[in-house]
A and B are shown apart, each in its own frame.
Chain A
Amino acid sequence: MSGVWVFAETRDGKIIKVVNEMLNASKGIAAKLGEDTAAVLLGSGVEPLAKDLAAMGAKKVYLADDAKLARYAPGAYAKIVADLVKKNQPSVMLFGNSAVGKDLGPTVAARLGVGMCSDCTGLEVNAEKKVVFTRPVYAAKAMTTVVCKDNPQMATIRPNVLPPGEPAAGAAADVEKVSAALEDADLRTVVKDVVMSAAGKIELTEANVIVSGGRGMKGPEHFKLLEDLANVLGAAVGASRAAVDAGWRDHHDQVGQTGKVVNPSLYIACGISGSIQHLAGMKTSKVIVAVNKDPEAPIFKVANYGIVGDLFKVVPVMTEEFKKLLAQ
């Protein structure tokens, strides 16, 4: 029974960022357990990515490359991953807390009849050589530490929290090809189509900088101001629920307890009051800037830098200043 495994999710032909974060953490975990790290790579035409995983620290890559795996399908993916786990008995299995990971993780865990810790923000090995996972609960209003009773100790890991590793180009991994022996029953759910809201849009949960707008934006047309600022900063644009419910922004853009939980280095909140539900989604951002004309707005209690004033005056100045600064 051995191995710290990471599910190597891909998007648009690349390994997603959280995989590097997980592999980096896994090196330390594996060393303490006296085991090796491995990555599980599924998809169609993904074989060339195995060397990227080796560079990120995977000593072994289990590869299933098959046209049937071109798109994520819970039944097919879970069958391959669960079969691999049963055969090789890793002690730890990690997934990114992404749309795929949040779906595949519990599917595999249920098939194996084991526990799983969701959306973890930390992991370490304790004296009993068990992995202790840290996970926020109640929208990060409380923190827990949790262990899994059986192997594999499974978890999904929140993106953008664990430090990424510096890839070592040229590192090699032992690649084991696995055949995708799938039956009709494994392919019951079929993705018929994919509708992307905007190509190249930065994902909120993975963004390093987020600019968000609330009811104070006064209408959908004014979000242009935030998009201009976001473009300068390479940021994603988020919104409060008030802005989403008013129909100004898409549901995908909502930050908060019933929206996305984000943790960028910088979160700029414009015309957002700072309700308890909004704070639940962004309170763990490293640095928070708030622009609000009401000095009593609760957002100022969590803002590292607050500006009391009209966002329509403040935001364009910030955009210009950042432009100048970044042009230097």
Chain B
Amino acid sequence: MKIIVLVKQVPDTETKVQVKPGEKAISTDGVTFVINPYDEYAIEEALRIKEAKGGDVTLISAGWDKAAEALRTGLAMGADKAVHLNDPAFLGGDAHSTAVALAKAIKKMEYDLILCGKQAIDYDNHQVGVRVAELLGIPHVAVVTKLELQDGKAVAHREVEGGSEIVETPLPAVITAQKGLNEPRYASLKGIMQAKKKPLEAKKPADVDAAPNEVGQAGAKTTVLTMTMPPERAAGRVVEGEPEDAAKQVVKLLREEAKVI
């Protein structure tokens, strides 16, 4: 089973986001970058399938030089090789142009299954996996919390409002991972040592048959006009008194002052 996993490097969830006036991106000063949490579930699932059924796992990421660190971490977890779409032309893309770059690269690779995160926690787009499937002309199942493979098909539990749908799809397909799918492993020291020797190939637009103006910012189909800090919530207020009295007081305030009940 040949598995491809899409991996994006994103700011850590602890990040205190700062946007300088007039800028359209967050300040990266002092920000720690990690593998997108949902992509960790995708990597873990790929490794478990490989361990059960054999095959290999290839990671692919479009991103700046530093994104290679995320790919190395995935290799240290146990993936076999990695492809890094690393060129200024790939940067600043939206969901459309990022999916175009990834799909063009994937078209040159062999695969039975593609796994990725349900969404990247930077722009929270929730689009790229589905778009890659469409561009490759293969089906997808999104927001998956359980995955079983049988010959030539996959049965996936997909999260919907109030429950799950159990969806069957032929392979190859794109599966997007949701929390609950598995518990991702940490890279072992041995894994980290081995990862240094695993192939991590950098590719330019020409290597994936992409014109520089169809990927990254030039290929984007949306334009960000402004990025600003959200309004601060007014400072909180503690209702004094014994807990039981405070509870009564708060119920009253919710009706009379806040008028939400």
Mask of B221-261 contacts with A, CB within 8 angstroms, 1/0: 11111111110011111110011101110111111001011
Known A106-B131, A198-B162; contact A138-B26, beta-carbon cutoff 8 A: yes
Give A297 Cβ to nearest chain B Cβ, in Å.
10
Mask of B99-126 contacts with A, CB within 8 angstroms, 1/0: 1000000000000000000000111111
Using CB atoms, name the residue of chain A closest to B123: A137
A164 at the interface (CB under 8 A from B): no
Label chain B's interface by main secondary structure: mixed
Partner of A302, one of B17, B222, B236, B242: B236
Which A residues are closer than 8 A to B by beta carbons?
11, 71, 74-75, 78, 98-100, 102-103, 105-107, 109-111, 113-119, 132, 136-150, 188-198, 201, 203, 205-206, 209, 233, 251-252, 254, 257-259, 265-266, 276-277, 280, 283, 286-290, 295, 300-310, 313-315, 317-318, 321-322, 325-326
Q: How large is the interface on B (under 10, 10 to 19, 20 to 34, 35 or more residues)?
A: 35 or more
Q: Which residues of B contact A113 (CB under 8 A)?
A: 96, 221
Are B95 and A107 in contact (CB-based, < 8 A)?
no
Q: State the CA gap A102–B128 with chains docked (Å).
A: 11
Using CB atoms, name the residue of chain A closest to B226: A145
Give A231 Cβ to nearest chain B Cβ, in Å.
14
Known A258-B179, A290-B236, A307-B239; contact A326-B261, beta-carbon cutoff 8 A: yes
B32 at the interface (CB under 8 A from A): no
Are A251 and B180 in contact (CB-based, < 8 A)?
yes
Are A251 and B145 in contact (CB-based, < 8 A)?
yes
Partner of B14, one of A276, A302, A315, A326: A276
Known A103-B142, A140-B230; contact A110-B243, beta-carbon cutoff 8 A: no
Give A22 Cβ to nearest chain B Cβ, in Å.
17
B37 at the interface (CB under 8 A from A): yes
Partner of A310, one of B16, B123, B131, B243: B243
Which B residues are closer than 8 A to A by beta carbons?
11, 13-17, 19, 24, 26, 37-38, 94-96, 99, 121-127, 130-131, 134-135, 139-143, 145, 155, 157-170, 173, 178-180, 220-230, 233-239, 242-244, 246-248, 250-255, 258, 260-261
Knowing that A192-B168, A313-B243 touch, tell me 8 more A-B residue pairs with CB under 8 angstroms.
A115-B96, A118-B125, A119-B126, A195-B164, A254-B179, A305-B250, A305-B253, A307-B246
Are B261 and A119 in contact (CB-based, < 8 A)?
no
Q: State the CA gap A123–B224 with chains docked (Å).
A: 14
Q: Which residues of A contact B13 (CB under 8 A)?
A: 139, 257-258, 276-277, 280
7 A–B contacts, CB within 8 A, in A order: A74-B139, A103-B143, A110-B135, A138-B122, A201-B162, A257-B121, A306-B236
Give A235 Cβ to nearest chain B Cβ, in Å.
10
Are B122 and A99 in contact (CB-based, < 8 A)?
no
Q: Which residues of B contact A290 (CB under 8 A)?
A: 236
Using CB atoms, name the residue of chain B closest to A200: B162
Q: Which residues of B contact A71 (CB under 8 A)?
A: 165
User: Which 10 pairs, one residue from A and one from B, show the smallest C-beta to C-beta distance?
Assistant: A309-B243, A115-B221, A110-B134, A141-B17, A115-B222, A196-B163, A251-B180, A317-B247, A106-B127, A321-B251
Partner of B167, one of A132, A191, A310, A321: A191
